[in-house]
């Protein structure tokens, strides 16, 4: 399973091929304050970009590999397999702009460099929208 972490700048620890595969990818400000990494499933990336990165013209999207030997069904508090000492949890989120309820993947613990498959650079479209 692959989930996605969006950065406005790529920390060295997130670069694939980093000298230390056990290096911890640093949390962003909101991740630190909430105590987990905010991630998106592929279908959620465009909405996440529109909601939280509207001022940016370019972002970097880390493809995070979550080792999984079973399908992870998005349920409130459902735990998936753990990358290292961390756990993936799908949490219920009410979107502030639409009021809709959905589930977002969060990692409690650390994301290590060895879990970053690649970093993709994504540019905002001329009309101000994002395509991923």
Write out pLDDT tens, residues 78-118.
Answer: 445 544 567 888 888 888 888 889 899 998 888 889 889 99
The whole-chain average pLDDT of the chain stands at 85
Class of 2-123 per CATH?
Answer: alpha beta
Write out pLDDT tens, residues 56-78.
Answer: 999 999 999 886 644 444 444 44
Confidence of residue 31 (pLDDT cuts 50, 70, 90): very high
DSSP the chain: -EEEEEESS--GGGSTT-S-TTPBPPPPHHHHHHTSEE-B-GGGHHHHHHHH-TT-SEEEEEEEE---SS-----TTEE---STT-EEEEEEEE-TTT--EEEEEEEES--BGGGEEEEEEEEPPTTS----
pLDDT of amino acid 109: 86
């Amino acid at each position: 399973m692959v989930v996605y972490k969006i950065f406005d700048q790529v920390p060295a620890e997130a670069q694939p091929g980093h000298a230390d595969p056990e290096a911890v990818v640093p949390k962003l400000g909101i991740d630190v304050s909430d105590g987990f990494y905010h991630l998106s499933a592929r279908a959620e990336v465009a909405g996440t970009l529109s909601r939280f990165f509207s001022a940016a013209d370019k972002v970097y999207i880390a493809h995070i590999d979550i080792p999984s030997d079973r399908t992870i069904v998005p349920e409130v508090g459902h735990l998936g397999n753990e990358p290292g000492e961390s756990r993936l949890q799908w949490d219920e989120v009410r979107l502030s702009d639409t009021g809709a309820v959905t589930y977002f993947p969060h990692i409690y613990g650390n994301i290590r460099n060895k879990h970053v498959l690649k970093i993709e650079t994504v540019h905002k479209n001329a009309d101000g929208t994002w395509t991923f």
